[in-house]
């Protein structure tokens, strides 16, 4: 069966505005954010590490978005997950170029209902993190359907399963990071700027996660009166 689960109110973004540092390396590796948005409509933001020249020197800006889902409230313990799509509604974009891509990594915010300044680095790894889907382009507006890969499937929590980073059990946590700039650690030039905004849980088109699953673990399927036997396989009928 397939269920659509909507993001919890703990979605939003944590960002660095480079008010205290002039280096890309420091901004990228900071432990806490300077910019935080937890409640506005269209609160889920994602932007590259924008680099500008100002009176205070060579500055960078970097945002990361967090999107938690209470999947354990819908998917029972022991269920086998065979397909999942993350759906986002992109409402704004600024900038251009060939590096407008976004990576989906696993989030680790300890409080799934509220973003805090420490969630700027609430992920599994700064460098070379596992990615739960193919990177997607943010060069255009509208609905973005991101098909999760097998890594992404493993992040989806069932009822009672411990949540990544702590907090209440059964919460699946995603973070959006710029692919080429943040994940791959390429400092943008002073002419490169990409900014994208997605509708949040408080908006008209909240982030959603559609999960296809069946009860119980994967195993043998026997069909009476038939020569067909599938062992250790997954069958999806839509």
Task: Give per-residue pLDDT as tens, 160-217.
Answer: 999 999 999 999 999 999 888 889 988 777 666 677 888 888 888 999 999 999 997 7
The Cα 18–Cα 10 span in angstroms is 24
Residues 6 or more apart whose CB falls under 8 angstroms from that of 3 comprise 74, 75, 210, 211, 213
- Give the integer Cα–Cα distance in Å for 197 and 89: 9
Instruction: Name the pTM for this structure.
Output: 0.85
CA distance 74 to 178: 30
Tokens matching residue 111: 């409080």
Give the count of alpha carbons within 13 A of 44, CB side only: 29
Phi, psi at residue 122, to the nearest 5°? Answer: -85, 70
Q: What is the largest CA-CA distance in the chain?
A: 79
List, as one string, the DSSP characters of 20-82. Answer: S---HHHHHH-SS-SEEESSSTT-EEEE--EEEEETTEEEEEEEEEEEEE-GGGTSPTTPEEE
Three-state DSSP string of 138-180: CCCCEEEEEEECHHHHHHCCCCCCCCCCCCCCCCEEEEEEEHH
Identify the pLDDT of residue 218: 60
pLDDT in tens, the chain (238 residues): 899 999 998 898 888 876 666 678 888 898 988 777 765 434 444 444 455 544 455 667 788 889 999 999 999 999 999 999 999 998 888 765 556 788 999 999 999 998 888 999 999 999 999 999 999 988 888 999 999 999 999 999 999 999 999 999 999 999 999 888 889 988 777 666 677 888 888 888 999 999 999 997 765 344 444 444 444 444 444 4
Distances from the Cα of 19 to the Cαs of 16, 47, 216, in angstroms? 8, 17, 51
């Amino acid at each position: 069966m397939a269920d659509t689960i909507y993001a919890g109110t703990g979605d939003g973004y944590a960002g660095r505005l480079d008010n205290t540092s002039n280096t890309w390396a420091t901004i990228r590796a900071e432990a806490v954010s300077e910019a935080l948005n937890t409640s506005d409509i269209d609160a889920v933001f994602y932007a590259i590490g924008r680099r500008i020249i100002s009176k205070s020197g060579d500055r960078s800006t970097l945002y990361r978005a967090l999107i938690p889902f209470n999947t354990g409230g819908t998917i029972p313990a022991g269920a086998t997950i065979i397909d999942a799509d993350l759906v986002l509604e992109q409402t704004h974009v600024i900038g251009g170029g060939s590096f407008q891509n976004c990576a989906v990594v696993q989030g680790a915010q300890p409080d799934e209902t509220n973003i805090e300044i420490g969630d700027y680095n609430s992920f599994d790894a700064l460098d070379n993190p596992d990615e739960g889907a193919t990177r997607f382009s943010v060069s255009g507006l509208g609905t973005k359907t991101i098909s999760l890969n097998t890594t992404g499937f493993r992040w989806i929590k069932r009822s009672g399963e411990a949540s990544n980073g702590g907090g209440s059990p059964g919460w699946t946590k995603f973070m959006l990071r710029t692919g080429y700039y943040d994940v791959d650690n390429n400092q943008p030039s002073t002419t490169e700027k990409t900014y994208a905004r997605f509708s949040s849980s408080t908006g008209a088109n909240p982030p959603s996660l559609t999960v296809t699953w069946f009860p119980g673990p994967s195993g043998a399927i026997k069909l009476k009166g038939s020569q067909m036997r599938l062992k250790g396989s997954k069958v999806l009928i839509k």
